[in-house]
Structure 1
Amino acid sequence: MPSPSVQWLSFVGTIWLQTINGANSDFPVYSSQLKDLKSFSQVKLNFLAFASDAGKLFGWFSGLAAIFLPLWLVAVIGAIFGLVGYGVQFLFLGSTHLSYWHLFTLTALAGNGICWINTVCYIICIQNFPSDSRVAVGISTSYVGLSAKIYAVVADVIFRPQSNHDAKTYLGLNAIVPILVSILVAPFLREMETKNKARSSCGFMVMFAITLATGICAVVGSIRPESREHAISLGLLLTAPLVVPLAMKYREGKEELWWNRRERRVHDITVDEVDTRESVMDLEMREVESVDGKVEESVEVGGLQLLKKVNFWLYFFSYMFSATLGLVFLNNLGQIAESRGFSKTTTLVSLSSSFGFFGRLMPSVLDYSSTKSGYMVSRPAFMAILMAPMAGAFFLLLNPSRLFLYLGTTIIGGCTGAITSIAVSATPELFGTKHFGVNHNIVVTNIPVGSFLFGYFAAFLYQREAEGSHSCNGIRCYEKTFIIWGSTCSVATLLCTVLYARTRKFC
């Protein structure tokens, strides 16, 4: 049986990996400057935003690699892809030899690297915490929502004298930070055979408290001007999860000492008594599994067999018409803000990142509380509930007021984060856990498909409103786009409701 301290240390490793694994989420911050530097049209800029998502088309390779390679190596490979993808752009951004298609290919390579790190984090959370996998996945993936915020804070601390950090600043950070963190946590990334299915309530309660404090700190820092004090506070909160494995290690030491003393006192235990004690322990474990584990019958579907399932296509398109649509909105946030007259988009991007963090965390909070009551909310139902306000937020953006831009951005960022987090648990719930690494990477191929379709259409309408210019100003730039996106998200709500009806278990 693995040591609980090592088990929790691997979980802390996934938290740190996820914190820096959204390197592509800071693209809106420097997209306008990149557009001017390379004289790109809006269509080309949207294709470049799509490039990171295009890398997910081959994300299933990471699922296969995780079967044959140690998890730490899979994570390092993903970080190396990011190092090459963003590093080459950093070195040759101002060179005429770096063409548009070079940028596209390098960005796609970096985007594929994100899938490798995600796969490692998902597998560790699901396998190492079988009875609390939903909670573990929710907490871990919530930190992805902070990535844009973290990169903005690091850029501000290191390059504070500059009023506006240029594209090279973020490209350099995107290349270096993931590989450094991956090497740091590599010794802790391992999949464990966990026979004890008892819940780790105390550990997750502490993690929830730390995670909530981190999110609140990030939101406050997004509203108020950045400061070194805020950066230090955020850094301390990101190291705080180490408290749990350290406490576990301390408890293990005390238990080992107690057990050694007990063994010295006990000399007359017969073989029959030992067998009886083991039988009782096995019976207790079965009782724990039946009460807490709540093992449900699930059909194991793997690989291309998914394509034959109606539920897969309902899941695929409802995801694409909601969470993927939200990601496209966030990728275009820099251009949307610029069209509304924002001179600096960092604040808006940090705000969406912070609320995306809370959105990703919310499902795990509800899962944790629902396990106490014995009632678990269906994943498809949960997703459908979140898609409805997201659809309404797109229509709110038709109002030219900055207040509605802030409100719509926070709703879309929060709901997108929540749906993305829920989907990680929905995939094994719908299709089983055996082929999860491959299955989920097949599901997320909807992201590049949706990113291409929705991103290109938004860029086409933007360019038409710009009337030959590179830039467009006013609400008209994205007015039709928001109407179409809101209607599309409404369709997603309907599809996910149908999926819930098909998978609901009637008593």
Structure 2
Amino acid sequence: MSVAGATYMFGLYSNDLKTILGYDQSTLNLLSFFKDFGANVGILAGLVNEVYPPWVVLTIGAILNFFGYFMIWLSVTKKIATPKVWQMCLYICIGANSQSFANTGSLVTCVKNFPESRGAVLGVLKGYVGLSGAIITQLYSAFYYDDTKALILLIGWLPAVVSFAFLRTKKTNFTQSEFGLSAAVVIFLLLLPLVVVFIEENKIWRSKKLALVDSSPVKIVTEGEIAETEKVNAVHSVSVSSPKKDPKWYEDVFHPPARGEDYTILQALFSIDMLILFVACISGVGGALTAIDNLNQIGTSLRYPKKSISTFVSLVSIWNYLGRVFSGFVSEHVLTKYKFPRPLMLTLTLFISCVGHLLIAFDVPNGLYAASVIIGFCFGAQWPLLFAIISELFGLKYYATLYNFGNVASPLGLYVLNVMVTGYLYDKEGTKQLEAFGLKRKEGQQLNCVGVDCFKLSFIIITTATFFGCDCLTYFSGENKKVLQR
């Protein structure tokens, strides 16, 4: 998990894609959308995990990671012909989709192994995903200094190597005497129930002996007779209820069990609870990802030095990690001790993230440093809370698939807020500035924008959308208060 968060480093090499391949901001944001679409649409990974062991899931993820980013590196270094936009979208989608396989193979397994500590497990594992951005950034600085093209290659081979290195399960070799000792223990445990039989038979024999001495009639009822009576009653009850027909599958979809029980996949997907969570995450996660993916362009337009932009990416990654760990452990603590539900904590997280968006919108002096910390922390804190809520409401039976469906909100929110809103308004302002100098943009020429107006309106819209997500979660908390406080 410590190398599975390469998608959060898009801001470091996005300027190379824009400059070398001649993209405008809308096209660059389209690539960003497909990156997050691949990273978060992990339904295939969930279905594979339902059928095959985790090592198969990790192997597929390693192959996809290397292929996708290696093709991007070949394109940026001009070792192959310049690909079309749809090809670049496909490459980055394939490379980023490996993250869902890495997450599913390790995270879902751990949640099923430790269901009573799911908040802490999710916090630690998802925290390492966030911290991986800072880890890879430091490795890149040590190996390649300022060569962002080489960073793409590092993102391609490092996670694949780590996945392959830990695929094999370490087996312990036992000596013959150790096998003999374990066999003796097993045989002893198998024979141990005979002691119970001897004790019970002795009790029955003593009861019969006392009955012969006592003149009053005593009926000896053994446990076997009680069991036979219960069996007869059970068979009778089954025979009475057998004429009832099972409901058809489409009727069962709209008649889910009680909240907190094991839902089927379709029951969960068609529930109003999943819809509310989906809408809240479209605004919350989509807005935070828009800021993270555009850090390079935001820093450039607000005239921050180049070194500061690398600092912003590291700050986002570090506080992303802290947010995930904090929300995982703290949500578990306050839920257990104070019965404070996780949806309310998620509401507070979205509310705090609005402060970071407003710092960017109004270009507060040195505000991008604080905005990187706030948005990174809030973005990281949302994921453990979301996944824990899904497991609490819909059960763990199909958690591998439902966990990945929860991720789908991220690319959808990113497309609306990043491509349709932020990218469009950035290009509109950039074209306006270009025309002010009497120039026109040529086809294949990059389009830049400088000044606070490049992102001001975009982040005001993002703040409004995030507030709407807070309202949805407040209603959601009230509807599910009893289930989520257990």
Taking structure 1 as the reference length, what is the TM-score of the superposition? 0.73
Shift of 1:150: 1.4
Residue 358 (structure 2) aligned to one of 377, 381, 395: 395
Q: 8 Å contact 1:323–1:417 — kept in the other structure?
A: no
Matched, 1:464 2:428: yes
Shift of 1:133: 2.1
Q: 8 Å contact 1:124–1:189 — kept in the other structure?
A: no
Residue 164 (structure 2) aligned to one of 183, 187, 202: 183
Residue 359 (structure 1) aligned to one of 301, 305, 323: 323
* 1:189-200 aligned within 5 A: none
User: Per the alignment, do residues 364 and 67 of structure 1 end up closer, same or farther by CA in structure 2, a change over 3 Å counting?
Assistant: same
Aligned residues: 400
Which amino acid in the other structure matches residue 178 of structure 1?
Answer: P
User: Per the alignment, do residues 60 and 308 of structure 1 end up closer, same or farther by CA in structure 2, a change over 3 Å counting?
Assistant: same
Residue equivalent to 1:156: 141
Q: 8 Å contact 1:302–1:438 — kept in the other structure?
A: no
Name the CA distance, whole Å, in 2 between partners of 1:302 and 1:446: 20
CA shift digits 1:85-106 (9 cap, x unpaired): 0011212322434222211100
Residue equivalent to 1:279: none
Residue 402 (structure 2) aligned to one of 428, 439, 442: 439
Shift of 1:189: 10
Name the CA distance, whole Å, in 2 between partners of 1:56 and 1:299: 29
Residue 104 (structure 1) aligned to one of 74, 84, 89: 89
Matched, 1:335 2:297: yes
Name the CA distance, whole Å, in 2 between partners of 1:490 and 1:275: 67
Matched, 1:478 2:455: yes
Residue equivalent to 2:218: none
Which amino acid in the other structure matches residue 275 of structure 2?
Answer: W
Matched, 1:409 2:389: no
Residue 165 (structure 1) aligned to one of 147, 150, 161: 147
* 1:5-404 aligned within 5 A: 18-56=1-39, 58-93=41-76, 94=78, 95-160=80-145, 164-166=146-148, 168-188=149-169, 298-342=260-304, 343-344=306-307, 345-367=309-331, 369-370=333-334, 374-404=337-367
CA shift digits 1:369-391 (9 cap, x unpaired): 447x6445322121112111112
Shift of 1:399: 3.2
User: Per the alignment, do residues 138 and 273 of structure 1 end up closer, same or farther by CA in structure 2, a change over 3 Å counting?
Assistant: farther
Which amino acid in the other structure matches residue 23 of structure 1?
Answer: A
Shift of 1:153: 0.7
Name the CA distance, whole Å, in 2 between partners of 1:155 and 1:56: 21
User: Per the alignment, do residues 307 and 367 of structure 1 end up closer, same or farther by CA in structure 2, a change over 3 Å counting?
Assistant: closer
Name the CA distance, whole Å, in 2 between partners of 1:86 and 1:189: 30
Shift of 1:56: 4.8
Name the CA distance, whole Å, in 2 between partners of 1:351 and 1:489: 22
Residue equivalent to 1:429: 392
Residue equivalent to 2:437: none
Which amino acid in the other structure matches residue 376 of structure 2?
Answer: G
Name the CA distance, whole Å, in 1 between partners of 2:98 and 2:324: 21
User: How high is the sequence identity, in percent, across the aligned residues?
Assistant: 25
Secondary structure of the 2:482 match is coil
Per mean C-alpha deviation after superposition, the further-off stretch among 168-177 and 487-496 is 168-177
Name the CA distance, whole Å, in 2 between partners of 1:60 and 1:30: 28
Which amino acid in the other structure matches residue 46 of structure 1?
Answer: N
Per mean C-alpha deviation after superposition, the further-off stretch among 301-310 and 426-435 is 301-310
Per mean C-alpha deviation after superposition, the further-off stretch among 386-395 and 470-479 is 386-395
CA shift digits 1:74-127 (9 cap, x unpaired): 011012111100011212322434222211100011122111111112212212
CA shift digits 1:219-249 (9 cap, x unpaired): xxxxxxxxxxxxxxxxxxxxxxxxxxxxxx9
Q: Which runs of 5+ in 1 are unaligned?
A: 1-17, 191-248, 250-255, 277-295
Residue equivalent to 2:471: 494
Secondary structure of the 2:362 match is coil
Shift of 1:412: 1.1
Secondary structure of the 1:186 match is coil
Name the CA distance, whole Å, in 2 between partners of 1:140 and 1:58: 19
Which amino acid in the other structure matches residue 147 of structure 2?
Answer: H
Name the CA distance, whole Å, in 1 between partners of 2:359 and 2:170: 43
Per mean C-alpha deviation after superposition, the further-off stretch among 390-399 and 447-456 is 390-399
Shift of 1:397: 2.3
User: Per the alignment, do residues 58 and 489 of structure 1 end up closer, same or farther by CA in structure 2, a change over 3 Å counting?
Assistant: closer
Q: Which runs of 5+ in 2 are unaligned?
A: 173-177, 199-257, 435-446
Shift of 1:400: 2.2
Per mean C-alpha deviation after superposition, the further-off stretch among 85-94 and 494-503 is 85-94
Q: 8 Å contact 2:286–2:417 — kept in the other structure?
A: no
Name the CA distance, whole Å, in 2 between partners of 1:404 and 1:391: 13
User: Per the alignment, do residues 29 and 97 of structure 1 end up closer, same or farther by CA in structure 2, a change over 3 Å counting?
Assistant: closer
Secondary structure of the 1:482 match is helix
Which amino acid in the other structure matches residue 401 of structure 2?
Answer: V
Q: 8 Å contact 1:64–1:438 — kept in the other structure?
A: yes
Q: 8 Å contact 2:144–2:151 — kept in the other structure?
A: no
Which amino acid in the other structure matches residue 130 of structure 1?
Answer: P
